[in-house]
Structure 1
């Protein structure tokens, strides 16, 4: 055991040799202090978790949370809580995969599966990212429309600016991206803290909402929204993103160094995801306390929520704060979604394109369908599109979760870092629950 701190983890169990670095522009670009307190080291690792948490509070979450709160009151708070606990486990596994193997999840899939299987997984992942980006782009455009009266089409086109923003920030260091993301998260959280104070929800009803109810499974409409919440909370592209951006830290490539990196990375993502839990729960609580209790049980569109908050709460600040939080959420999500698109494209296809071209391609995958949909349907139907996008994400989720659990449980790939028995059981249980809910959704949707 004396050589443990300097022993490298042996790479075995992969069909192909090690891949090129993930996000090469910022790979291992941030130094970790070798001395100092544990808190100083934790701060050096803190950041990636907040980029991941952004995906758990994007405009797609807003649509499902608003629909769930207005239709069913506080009942679906339990789904948000359970989904968040699943997310904490899965993101911890994603971070561990990247730290131990030096591969992000996309690279790991390419290096493990045959080319046809890997290509199939890539196509499914791109569809999920397109669905996610559609929600984020439409959400940002709606926020610009509500706050400034900007037509939806123009708002959607403006979101392409995030491509330039990422290039600018990444050239100044990955920490700048993390700082911007955290600032926007704090803005969203602050807005909803004030909103909860204005709505004054009943504490007892809120607490009862966190207790699971059998009605969620038996009621088809409630189940549809619940699975949409699951798809909006545990996002497949976040697993690819997290496994890549944890590699921006210069942790020691030893067993001890990797164990330390896993510990701090898990703390980082867990704390960040509790912020996401607060924001998701806050949206549903506001919808339940404001709309459901006043008989407005059909509020599923973000525009309706914005317009109703002022008359129901008696202050214009309620609607303005809602719009500001939505804009911050949309911008944050498009930023991290673009990064995830780059990681997936590079990881599965092993292609190297100029940074500006990679990000432009991934942005256009979302912009083009969003422009077409908005031109055809306008503001009407955007709530249905947002909820549907989250259901699509949920259906794709198993194709990211199952490889992740499989890889991190394999001793040939992970060595001494492979999941212990209790974690294997828990992780596979989560994977089976997600797959089972998706099967139920398909049956109820098409049969």
Structure 2
């Protein structure tokens, strides 16, 4: 798409240019890695797909971060396999939204943050920026607490010390960004494989009922009629679809050097969608595995009150008869927490640069975001101890739920706009599907927030 004109339109008399945007794109997204990875012009479709593969796995990380674990554990211990259908439906929604995010970045050359800045008035874009920063801080808070809990469970490191140790990942991120984007993708995929491997063994050890698992993937009317089950189900949805992933995906697809033609963009959209869809099925496996292990280990033995990560860790070993069960659980949690910090770094950078066009060194941006998460975590841990930390983890998921619609609605709006997207605008069936998903997410998250603050 061509971007015409150099000057920005005045806020007092906004005009839409021929490309459908109020403002011209100020700069490329993640300029240090923008279009840095070549796509082979010749060769098999599989070779081209491999060149595009990678961003989807960074996106999938957000769907298996520590914030998801508590809802999956609670759902499995309280209701057995019933809520597997909710995980599956949430994953399908995520596949649709991530495909749209990838398409937005490929077609417009803008990430979602840049698109919001270039479409909305300055006051509106500033509000969206503040909400998004809160969501990223909340997500980072979940990563900090999850990593600290894992370090405490595995090595006996006090929670406060574990929280402070997480600052060290700033150096890791800086090192990887200097070496190239493929190194970040390789590390993320390695950690995902580690998490998947741990839960594959956990599934073997817990010996779930296959019939019950298969039945759990079929939606049940009981989910809607039982208030407690509905509350947990909405919590699973809120913890599954992450707003920062939409900003992240719309940016990192632009690391590929695809041809800026109709055919090149169409090919990029196809392979990018395959990449994110396959990666999100890995996330589905891990989230489903957490719930299945919880159901097979706790629900079937009458331990229906297990809803916290540390309780699950301590009870797995005696119930399954091997210390390996708890150790693998802890290793997977640590890998999930560390994996999420990498994608959180990139999402934070994308949002700040996209909305404000402010360039900070990656280590400084990461340090600022991490301190915003560490300070409340340390204070709460010192005052209220472990219980307060777990409450803070729940609060972080509520904040993420609150912000989700402010990312989903602009995404659906932009990708459905023919002036912005041209021939790549969402066809009618996809437009309807996307808006249905957006409305469902908005309504359910409002319900979750009301229920949370009313103390139900």
Report Cα offsets for 1:51-109 as digits up to 9, x if no partner.
00000000011111011111111111111000000000000000000011111001100
- Give the 3-state SS of the residue equivalent to 1:28 in structure 2: coil
Of the three residues 91, 94, 99, the one matched with 1:87 is: 94
2-structure distance, mates of 1:359, 1:136 = 13
Of the three residues 34, 47, 59, the one matched with 2:41 is: 34
- Residue-pair matches, total: 441
1-structure distance, mates of 2:451, 2:148 = 32
Instruction: Out of 69-78 and 406-415, give the one that drifted further.
Output: 69-78
Retained in 2: the 8 A contact 1:63–1:383? no
1:339 aligns with: 346
2:235 aligns with: 228
Report Cα offsets for 1:345-377 as digits up to 9, x if no partner.
111111112232222112222222222222222
Matched, 1:273 2:280: yes
Is the alpha carbon distance of 1:445 and 1:357 closer, same or farther for their aligned partners in structure 2, counting shifts above 3 Å?
A: closer
**Shift of residue 123, structure 1, vs aligned partner:** 1.1
Q: How does 1:280-295 map to 2 (within 5 A)?
A: 280-295=287-302
2-structure distance, mates of 1:374, 1:194 = 33
**Shift of residue 177, structure 1, vs aligned partner:** 0.3
Report Cα offsets for 1:124-150 as digits up to 9, x if no partner.
111111211111110000111111111
**Shift of residue 222, structure 1, vs aligned partner:** 1.9
Matched, 1:408 2:415: yes
Q: How does 1:4-403 map to 2 (within 5 A)?
A: 12-403=19-410
- Give the 3-state SS of the residue equivalent to 2:430 in structure 1: helix
Report Cα offsets for 1:385-409 as digits up to 9, x if no partner.
3233223212211110000000000
Retained in 2: the 8 A contact 1:9–1:415? no
TM-score under structure 2 normalisation?
0.94
Retained in 1: the 8 A contact 2:151–2:162? yes
Gap regions ≥5 residues in structure 1: 1-6
2:8 aligns with: none
Report Cα offsets for 1:141-196 as digits up to 9, x if no partner.
01111111111111111111221111101111100000000000000000000000
2-structure distance, mates of 1:376, 1:348 = 36
Gap regions ≥5 residues in structure 2: 5-17
Retained in 1: the 8 A contact 2:173–2:363? no
- Give the 3-state SS of the residue equivalent to 2:298 in structure 1: helix
2-structure distance, mates of 1:341, 1:117 = 19
2-structure distance, mates of 1:245, 1:85 = 21
- Give the 3-state SS of the residue equivalent to 1:274 in structure 2: helix
Retained in 1: the 8 A contact 2:39–2:48? yes
Retained in 2: the 8 A contact 1:220–1:444? no
2-structure distance, mates of 1:324, 1:48 = 24
Retained in 2: the 8 A contact 1:143–1:323? yes
**Shift of residue 324, structure 1, vs aligned partner:** 0.5
1:3 aligns with: none
Retained in 2: the 8 A contact 1:63–1:301? yes
1:4 aligns with: none
**Shift of residue 214, structure 1, vs aligned partner:** 2.3
Retained in 1: the 8 A contact 2:2–2:19? no
CA RMSD of aligned residues (A): 1.4
**Shift of residue 286, structure 1, vs aligned partner:** 0.5
- Give the 3-state SS of the residue equivalent to 2:387 in structure 1: coil
Report Cα offsets for 1:298-345 as digits up to 9, x if no partner.
111111111000000000000010011001000001111121111111
1-structure distance, mates of 2:333, 2:452 = 29
2-structure distance, mates of 1:446, 1:219 = 19
1-structure distance, mates of 2:389, 2:75 = 16
Retained in 1: the 8 A contact 2:377–2:392? no
Matched, 1:438 2:442: no
2-structure distance, mates of 1:66, 1:253 = 45
Instruction: Out of 274-283 and 356-365, give the one that drifted further.
Output: 356-365
Is the alpha carbon distance of 1:383 and 1:208 closer, same or farther for their aligned partners in structure 2, counting shifts above 3 Å?
A: farther
1-structure distance, mates of 2:385, 2:345 = 24
TM-score under structure 1 normalisation?
0.96
